[in-house]
Amino acid sequence: MDTIPHPSPETITAKKSSGHATSDAGRKAASSNASRLLLLQNLVPLAANLASSQLEAFANRLADELFRLSDQAVRPEDAKTSLDAHLLLKRNNTAFYRLVAGHITAVLSKEVSIFNTRKRAKKEDLYLDNTAQTYEQMEEKILLRHASQTLEVTSAEPLVMLNTLIGRILNRMPIDVSQNPFRPELFINSVYKAWQELDPNPDSHLVVLRLLQPQIFIQLTPILEEINQELMSKGIRPDGDDAMEGTHGLHSFLPAATPIAQNPLMQAKLKKVFSGDVELAPISLEDAPVSMMDLNEERAALDSTIEAQNQLDELDKETVDRQFFEDLVEMQKNFSKEELEEFPYKSNLRKLLKTASALRLSVIERNSIELLARIFDYILADQTLRDDIKRLIAQLQIPILRVALSDIDFFLRDSHPARTLMDILGSSGLVLDAERDPLLEKIGDVIERVQSEFDQQIDLFSNVVTDLENFLKEEEQRAQEAISQPVQTALTEEKMRISREFAEHDVAIRVETGEVAGFLESFLQEQWIRILTIAHSVKDEKPHALENALKTMDDLIWSLKPKNSADERKELIAKLPAMLTLLNAWLNAIRWDEPERVLFFSKLAERHAAMARAPLELSPRRQLEIAVNIAQRASNRRLDRFVHDKQAHLDDEASKHVDELDIGMWLDFTDELDQVSRYKLAWISPKRTSFIFTNRQGAGAFSISGEELVRRCRNGDVTTVVANSLVDRAMTFALRELAS
């Protein structure tokens, strides 16, 4: 999201002179913004105190390292400089503490105060150095940058979390490391400035700066973790329900594996890559056979490299860096789409590593290029992506490389705007409907905008991601409107389905007693369930209807039970007329006019007549036989129901899979001809008995019951489309051979 700009003094004066009062909405927004910044300001003392508590141990480590360096130095002047610095620090440790603490507090306070106006760092600020004039100045800035990047890698996990939390405080996407007011660069600069003030001897400045490594420096991880805990205790959550929801676009609704940012093994591999301890060797998806032409090209490239190296020895780092940056810009301008007509597609980023300007890049920078080349190799060979999507993604190689070289967060943070764009494109490639899909045209516009407008500001990626997500949200709204009628139909069907389940239960618990006559049991299960279903479906509007239907059923069952006393027979004769009237009224309501109705009432009359003629007194033997028969029937009914329920609630993998489905997921349906069609789960009924699927734009909607969906999953005819982060999958491939 874009940074909210602060109004200039001239703007404020103009508004006051025009007599326009600030609106309530404006005051609330200003108050909310001020409270958010106040929350950040309150973190400054916490961070400063945590850093100060480590200063004594840090100073001791630095002093010990300076003494060790003086003992091992080859040149006498180097040994003397290190020893003098060691003695100075030992004699003035209190002054050093005070200077460091003061600088940390001052710089953190300043960064928080200007935070809301800070943009992401430009490419030349992070990658090129146009201000260094002398070799010493250039080396100083390179050392500062390297020390900062090393600390960013070692503290990557809490730093990424802090970026996310601060982004949520200000209702933005996760901020960039260069915007973080507690980034490692500020602590490094504070310590370095403190040393410069403590020791006026410039010879010691670079010596100390080289020693500001993670094993010696202030431990930033516990500081950042404590800040994160403080923010979370204030109710700020990395997965909170705020404006950040949905920032991953289409793929946020699809099942995914654990992100790389939460995978310790992958994080360890990335730390090794960006520590500079190893250099990635160029690889590809498959090893191609080496031809004589390939060998000749390699020899020519080697000769060119040697010649270029000789020329570069005469150039300074600044000139080399500027030349490489210009090569990138030129390559982006002259990107040939004709290369994308060749198949299979492959990354062309490795060409950069053979350019003259790339020979003096650091190991970390060369690793970034090779890692990104591997990522694009994987993406452009991915069989799950359509060729038209691959062709579009391939055009992002140079802009993404420029981002990755200036912001290591691209590899470390899965919510990085440029990485988010790649993941949305990957997810979109799985669900495009046709050649002329509007989404494909939108993606083409986004790619063209990145190619033509991207210069240094990573904010452009945030803007195009927001633009693309807004397009998807509008499309989703239209799709929801398109299925409104099928949803209403499905809701009605589910209501009737649930009402029938209640009706079946009402009949079952009465039949289970074993006291219901055989012909009456059939009548209740075939006809009266229909009546009870209607009664249950209207019970909210007409509750007396359900009570009446249940009472009529109970009276009918009672009427066919043995009557062993004169009073019971008199009661039966008295109730029969009203009961038969209600019975016929309900049967008329369901329009049961078949001949079976006449037969049923004939049997019912015969049973009532037989009961009136039966002797009042039954022998004990006969009473026992009747009781045993009733108990046996009851036992059989309960067993039948138990088996039925057991089968109906079979808890297998298919049913678990359907239970885990959520709106927005995509599933593949295989028909009888083994043709696969992809549909989105657009709606689930409240009781999960009905599911509606559509294409992405809401067309071709169809409904399927939960039972049928479970059955088809069990048969393998329905499978979920898993769309893990495209960049995560590609990076896992790219680092597969690297030990953690």
The structure tokens 């993406």 sit at 379
CA distance to 141, 480, 581, 586, per residue, from 210 (Å)? 11, 60, 101, 93
First to last CA, the chain: 35
Domains recognised in the chain with CATH numbers:
9-245 (no CATH), 263-287+317-481+728-734 (no CATH), 486-644 (no CATH), 653-723 (2.30.30.30)
Q: What is the CB-side half-sphere exposure of residue 712 using CA atoms within 13 A?
A: 17
What is the rounded CA–CA span in Å between residue 372 and residue 364?
12
Q: How deeply is 337 buried, as exposed, middle or buried, from its count of CB atoms within 10 A (0-12, 13-18, 19+)? A: exposed
Beta-strand runs (E) in 526-665:
none
What is the rounded CA–CA span in Å between residue 127 and residue 656?
51
Q: What is the pLDDT of residue 333?
A: 65
101 neighbors 51 (Cβ within 8 angstroms):
yes
Dihedral of the alpha carbons of 66, 71, 72, 78, in degrees to the nearest 10: 70
Q: What is the pLDDT of residue 267?
A: 80
Q: What is the pLDDT of residue 623?
A: 54
Beta bridge partners of 720: 667
- Angle formed at CA 490 by CA 484 and CA 494, multiple of 5 degrees: 145
Measured in degrees and rounded to the nearest 5, phi and psi for residue 619 equal: -70, 155
Q: What is the pLDDT of residue 288?
A: 36
152 neighbors 163 (Cβ within 8 angstroms):
no
pLDDT along the chain (740 residues), means of 10: 35 38 41 60 87 90 90 83 90 89 89 64 43 68 86 87 81 73 93 93 90 92 91 75 37 44 77 84 52 43 49 56 71 58 65 74 86 89 83 88 85 85 86 79 90 78 88 86 86 88 87 78 90 90 90 89 81 89 91 87 87 64 57 58 53 78 87 86 88 85 89 87 78 80
What is the rounded CA–CA span in Å between residue 543 and residue 534?
11
The C-alpha R_g of the chain, in whole angstroms, comes to 38
Which of 50, 282, 86, 292 shows the shortest CA–CA distance to 198?
86
399 neighbors 454 (Cβ within 8 angstroms):
yes
Task: Copy the structure tokens of residue 160.
Answer: 């990424």
Beta bridge partners of 719: 668
DSSP codes joined into one string, 481-532: HHTHHHHHHHHHHHHHHHHHHHHHHHHHHHHTTS-S-HHHHHHIIIIIHHHH
User: Amino acid identity, residue 449?
Assistant: R
Q: What is the pLDDT of residue 31?
A: 40
Cis bond before residue 45 (omega within 30° of 0): no
- Which helix H or strand E contains 99, and what residues bound it? helix 93-113
Cβ neighbours for 421, distance < 8 A, ≥ 6 positions apart: 396, 446, 450, 461, 464, 465, 468
Q: What is the pLDDT of residue 548?
A: 92
Side by side, which strands form the sheet with 702-705?
Answer: 702-705, 690-694, 676-684, 666-670, 718-720
Counted residue by residue, the chain has a size of 740
Cβ neighbours for 211, distance < 8 A, ≥ 6 positions apart: 62, 65, 66, 69
Q: What is the pLDDT of residue 615?
A: 63
